[in-house]
């Protein structure tokens, strides 16, 4: 190869061969050319903007969508939309979750390369002289070119001198290097931190196929997934139930209920303090009812649906009644001389040995005590009892029953499958509203133009479409034999209980009206219809029944003794009256439902719903990740602003840029291939690595002095 060549004088190298300078024989050049000789080399570059435009949407949009999906689907205001999520919404949500997983993975892969590329562009500006106070040496420049912010080895060498390994330290540390490393760390930890703080959870939701009321409006691809669990009585139907229907049912219940059998329609109040418990004295471990204790607990109520009924993804409310009993001894002078009320229930029994029983329930028999509203309401009833006689314990008592009627929410997916407390008010947005918190609907008989109607706070039977012709669809109330007033409606639970125990068709009234004491007492002892006979035990009156002789006078004393013992047992504590008012409320609800379930009783349904995946993150997690992302976006914005402060001579501090820089150094400045001494590295650390502008004036030999050519050149350490 020729040692000489034709070239301009200022750019032609002096070539010499000296194999002693390196382990590899090479050409050595004394090359004094500047970095650039064209003004067009200094220009603004669009690469950073393109990278930012690609990366920021990948960073921000998925996180914003994740924050939205934490609380609700993209196309709905909540996951718990009680109108039901349509299958299109479910598919959209699933696709969104899958897409976010992919985008987050892609973002995690490209974060470090993109951030590092932008930092490399900023490093060009940092190494380009812009003011007099700047200081960058060659070692620092090479560390930036090596992208030392992502190299643990370079960062270790850049540690302060008081740390370990100081014997290997060179002057490679710079403010830009550490700030870039910190910024890259903030950007890089977001993906693993997001994986740690944001998890996926399977969430149960209501679908459109669970909303039975939408089936008539959304007929395409509708598959009703709900099923009927039972029915709830309507206030206007309860107001019309005959007294005889309830008292007949109540008499049967009082004679047959067992305190060690838990009534299926008895619910525990969630705000109560006394839990369900087991009868550990029984081999069958049956759950006890609330009346086994001497002072029964009062935190229970009755509903038309069996206890622990759950409705799945449907939110429905049903009526509940609970009664509290308080009994006190009173003076005989406090017993009403005249039972108050328009039509009070009064009982007077006289038997042998001056046995006198008086009973007074003030009020109006047959008057329905409740309003038609679904809002919470309460009533108070009193009963006065006076027992006296030569062979009986004198007992004068007043029992007060406080009854509350209202509605409660059945257990569902929103309340942890646990029924809710008593609701003070019935809230519904509109009778035909498509959206509501609940899935309560009136019976199909209330439909108008195939639209289901929601219950309002107060509905009247006269508002039923087609009234009064629609009344023909109701099953007539079954007549009760020997009823003296079949049209009389039910009273309050206490008066109804007293009527069931002492009314015209009761066993005690029949026995008392009999002129044959032997037959009357024998009927009580053998019929099994005595109230509380199983609850108290068949042996309760065994001693008295064993004394029957067939003599009317003697058996009249036996009858008086039985009646006296019954009154003392029933009124001396609250167990028996508490049980009687409970079963009175139960009979009212169940008998009303049985008669109206094909007419106006509300359907109570259950639906399974479906499951979707949703992101779950705590508020602390949201704040931490959002704060880091804000710092990252602020840093990126600053970097772009910093990059476009001045035009640059190269896009990146890459291999070509370093080769051009090395070519601009004096011969021998860069150590040759082989071992590098500490002195050689220190020499590089002392050299100015800033790239500046040099003005040069060149004279063409063929022109005169008036023809001058000015060029802008770049060089290391230029002023």
DSSP string, 308-357: T-B-BT---EEEEEEEEEEEEE--GGGS-SS--SSB-EEEEEEETTTEEE
Cα separation, 400 vs 577, in Å, equals 10
Residues 412 and 530 in one domain: yes
- Return the pLDDT at 511: 84
Across 612-634, average pLDDT: 95
Cα separation, 606 vs 225, in Å, equals 8
Tokens 């087609």 sit at which residue? 466
- Return the pLDDT at 429: 84
Cα separation, 308 vs 268, in Å, equals 10
Query: For residue 238, what are its two tokens?
Result: 């309860």
Query: For residue 103, what are its two tokens?
Result: 């985008």
Closest CA to 304 of 6, 580, 591, 541: 591
Higher pLDDT, 124 or 166: 124
Higher pLDDT, 692 or 377: 377
pLDDT tens readout for residues 293-334: 655 567 899 999 999 999 999 999 999 999 999 999 999 999
7 within domain boundaries: no
How far CA 198 is from CA of 187, 258, 588, 618, in Å, comes to 17, 54, 52, 8
pLDDT tens readout for residues 120-152: 889 888 888 777 777 777 778 888 888 888 888
Cα separation, 581 vs 586, in Å, equals 9
Residues 163 and 240 in one domain: no
Residues 230 and 286 in one domain: yes
Query: For residue 459, what are its two tokens?
Result: 């509905």
Higher pLDDT, 712 or 173: 173
Cα separation, 621 vs 627, in Å, equals 10
Please say whether the beta carbons of 525 and 247 come within 8 A: no
Residues 596 and 639 in one domain: no
Query: For residue 513, what are its two tokens?
Result: 């009206």
Residues 230 and 336 in one domain: yes
- Return the pLDDT at 710: 43
Look at the chain and report how many structural domains it folds into. Answer: 2
CB-based burial label for 514 (10 Å; 0-12, 13-18, 19+): middle
229 within domain boundaries: yes
Task: Report pTM.
Answer: 0.78
**Residue that is last in its domain, among 580, 606, 632:** 606
**Residue that is last in its domain, among 583, 606, 629:** 606
Instruction: Please state, as a whole number, how many other Cβ atoms lie within 10 Å of the Cβ of residue 689.
Output: 22
Across 425-432, average pLDDT: 90
- The pLDDT confidence band at residue 568, using thresholds 50, 70 and 90, is very high
546 within domain boundaries: yes
Residues 597 and 682 in one domain: no
Across 562-590, average pLDDT: 93
Cα separation, 92 vs 98, in Å, equals 10
- Return the pLDDT at 166: 46
Residues 468 and 592 in one domain: yes
Cα separation, 355 vs 386, in Å, equals 10
Please say whether the beta carbons of 351 and 387 come within 8 A: no
Q: What is the CA radius of gyration of the chain?
A: 47
Residues 166 and 193 in one domain: yes
DSSP lists the bridge partners of residue 423 as 407
Cα separation, 232 vs 229, in Å, equals 10
The phi and psi torsions of 713 (rounded to 5 degrees) equal: -120, 155
Please say whether the beta carbons of 97 and 630 come within 8 A: no
DSSP structural state of residue 463: G
Judged by average pLDDT, the poorest of 163-177, 274-288, 549-563, 570-584 is 274-288
Cα separation, 230 vs 226, in Å, equals 12
- Return the pLDDT at 299: 83
2 within domain boundaries: no
Closest CA to 388 of 569, 574, 560, 532: 560
Across 81-90, average pLDDT: 91
Cα separation, 716 vs 589, in Å, equals 97
Residue 401 pLDDT greater than 90, yes or no = yes
Query: For residue 199, what are its two tokens?
Result: 């998890």
pLDDT tens readout for residues 49-64: 999 999 999 999 999 9
The mean of the pLDDT values for the chain is: 83
Cα separation, 204 vs 98, in Å, equals 18
Closest CA to 244 of 482, 476, 508, 405: 482
- Return the pLDDT at 706: 44
Query: For residue 198, what are its two tokens?
Result: 């944001």
Number of Cα atoms under 13 Å in the Cβ half of residue 344: 18
372 within domain boundaries: yes
378 within domain boundaries: yes
Chain-centroid distance of CA 461 in Å reads: 37
First vs last C-alpha separation in the chain: 39
Number of Cα atoms under 13 Å in the Cβ half of residue 601: 25
- Return the pLDDT at 683: 65
Closest CA to 385 of 292, 502, 255, 257: 502
- Return the pLDDT at 427: 92
Range of the domain at 320: 214-606
Across 665-688, average pLDDT: 64
Cα separation, 262 vs 287, in Å, equals 6
Across 496-502, average pLDDT: 96
pLDDT tens readout for residues 444-478: 998 887 788 999 999 998 888 888 877 777 888 88
- Return the pLDDT at 719: 54
Q: Can you spell out the DSSP letters for 160-183?
A: -TTSS-GGG--S---HHHHHHHHH
Cα separation, 461 vs 459, in Å, equals 7
How far CA 255 is from CA of 46, 279, 323, 522, 586, in Å, comes to 93, 22, 20, 16, 15
Please say whether the beta carbons of 25 and 56 come within 8 A: no
**Residue that is last in its domain, among 606, 629, 644:** 606
Residues 6 or more apart whose Cβ sits within 8 Å of residue 618 = 197
Query: For residue 701, what are its two tokens?
Result: 């030999």
- Return the pLDDT at 548: 83
Residue 546 pLDDT greater than 60, yes or no = yes
- Map residue 474 onto helix, strand or coil: coil
150 within domain boundaries: yes
Cα separation, 345 vs 428, in Å, equals 39
Residues 572 and 525 in one domain: yes
207 within domain boundaries: no
Q: Can you spell out the DSSP letters for 191-235?
A: HHHHHHH-EEEEEEE-BGGG-GGGTTT--TT-----EEEEEE--H
Cα separation, 679 vs 685, in Å, equals 10
CB-based burial label for 692 (10 Å; 0-12, 13-18, 19+): middle
Residue 273 pLDDT greater than 60, yes or no = no
pLDDT tens readout for residues 64-73: 999 999 999 9
Closest CA to 47 of 653, 651, 655: 651
Cα separation, 486 vs 480, in Å, equals 7
- Return the pLDDT at 692: 66
Residues 138 and 280 in one domain: no
Higher pLDDT, 675 or 597: 597
Cα separation, 392 vs 385, in Å, equals 14
The phi and psi torsions of 710 (rounded to 5 degrees) equal: -100, 130
Residues 185 and 220 in one domain: no
Query: For residue 263, what are its two tokens?
Result: 């009534």
Residue 353 pLDDT greater than 90, yes or no = no
DSSP structural state of residue 599: T
Instruction: Please state, as a whole number, how many other Cβ atoms lie within 10 Å of the Cβ of residue 373.
Output: 16
pLDDT tens readout for residues 171-229: 777 888 899 999 999 999 999 999 999 999 999 999 989 998 875 444 455 677 899 99
Residues 245 and 354 in one domain: yes
- The pLDDT confidence band at residue 10, using thresholds 50, 70 and 90, is very low
């Amino acid at each position: 190869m020729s040692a000489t060549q034709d070239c301009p004088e200022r750019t032609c190298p002096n070539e010499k061969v000296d194999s002693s300078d390196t382990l590899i024989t090479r050409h050595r050049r004394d090359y004094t050319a500047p970095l650039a000789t064209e003004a067009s080399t200094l220009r603004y570059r669009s690469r950073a903007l393109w990278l930012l435009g690609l990366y920021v949407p990948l960073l921000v949009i998925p996180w914003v969508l994740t924050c939205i999906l934490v609380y609700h689907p993209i196309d709905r205001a909540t996951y718990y939309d009680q109108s039901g999520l349509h299958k299109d919404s479910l598919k959209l949500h699933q696709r969104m979750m899958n897409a976010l997983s992919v985008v987050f993975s892609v973002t995690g892969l490209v974060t470090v390369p993109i951030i590092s590329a932008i930092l490399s562009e900023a490093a060009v500006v940092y190494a380009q002289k812009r003011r007099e106070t700047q200081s960058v040496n060659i070692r620092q420049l090479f560390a930036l070119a090596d992208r030392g912010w992502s190299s643990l080895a370079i960062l270790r060498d850049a540690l302060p001198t008081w740390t370990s390994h100081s014997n290997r330290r060179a002057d490679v540390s710079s403010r830009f290097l550490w700030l870039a490393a910190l910024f890259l760390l903030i950007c890089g930890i977001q993906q693993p931190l997001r994986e740690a703080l944001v998890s996926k959870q399977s969430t149960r939701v209501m679908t459109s196929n669970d909303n039975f009321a939408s089936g008539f409006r959304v007929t395409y691809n509708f598959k009703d997934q709900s099923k009927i669990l039972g029915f709830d009585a309507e206030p206007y139907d309860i107001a019309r139930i005959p007294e005889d229907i309830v008292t007949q049912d109540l008499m049967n219940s009082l004679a047959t209920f067992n305190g060690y059998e838990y009534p299926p329609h008895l619910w525990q109040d969630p705000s109560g303090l006394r839990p369900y418990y087991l009868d550990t004295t029984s081999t069958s471990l049956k759950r006890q009812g609330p009346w086994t204790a001497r002072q029964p607990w009062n935190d229970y109520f009755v509903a038309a649906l069996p206890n622990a009924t759950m409705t799945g993804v449907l939110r429905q409310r049903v009526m509940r009644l609970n009664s509290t009993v308080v009994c006190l001894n009173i003076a005989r002078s406090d017993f009403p001389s005249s039972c108050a009320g328009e039509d009070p229930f009064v009982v007077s029994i006289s038997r042998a040995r001056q046995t006198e029983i008086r009973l007074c329930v003030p009020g109006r028999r047959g008057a329905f005590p409740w309003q038609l509203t679904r809002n919470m309401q309460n009533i108070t009833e009193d009963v006065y009892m006076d027992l006296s006689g030569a062979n009986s314990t004198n007992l004068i008592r007043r029992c007060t029953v406080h009854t509350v009627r209202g509605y409660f929410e059945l257990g569902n997916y929103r309340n942890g499958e646990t029924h809710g407390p008593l609701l003070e008010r019935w809230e519904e947005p509109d009778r035909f509203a498509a959206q509501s918190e609940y899935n309560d609907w009136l019976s199909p008989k209330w439909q108008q133009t195939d639209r289901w109607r929601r219950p309002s706070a107060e509905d009247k039977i006269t508002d039923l479409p087609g009234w009064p012709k629609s009344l023909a669809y109701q099953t007539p109330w079954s007549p009760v034999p020997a009823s003296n007033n079949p049209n009389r409606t039910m009273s309050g639970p206490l008066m109804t209980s007293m009527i069931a125990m002492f009314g015209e068709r009761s066993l005690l009234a029949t026995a008392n009206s009999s002129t044959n004491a032997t037959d009357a007492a024998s009927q009580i002892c053998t019929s099994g219809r005595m109230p509380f006979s199983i609850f108290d035990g068949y042996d309760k009156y065994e001693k008295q029944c064993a004394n029957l002789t067939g003599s009317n006078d003697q058996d009249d004393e036996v009858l008086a003794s039985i009646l006296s013992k019954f009154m003392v047992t029933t009124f001396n504590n609250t167990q028996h009256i508490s049980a009687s008012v409970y079963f009175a409320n139960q009979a009212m609800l169940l008998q009303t439902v049985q008669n109206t379930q094909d007419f106006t009783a509300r359907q109570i349904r259950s639906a399974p719903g479906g499951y979707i995946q949703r992101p779950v993150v705590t508020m602390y997690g949201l704040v931490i990740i959002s704060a880091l992302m804000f710092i990252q976006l602020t840093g990126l914005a600053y970097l772009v602003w910093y990059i476009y402060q001045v035009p640059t001579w190269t896009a990146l501090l890459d291999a070509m840029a370093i080769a051009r820089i090395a070519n601009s150094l004096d011969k021998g400045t860069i150590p040759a291939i082989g071992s590098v001494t500490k002195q050689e590295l220190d020499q590089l650390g002392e050299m100015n690595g800033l790239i500046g502008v040099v003005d040069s004036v060149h004279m063409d030999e063929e022109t005169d002095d008036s023809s001058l050519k000015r060029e802008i050149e770049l060089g290391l350490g230029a002023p």
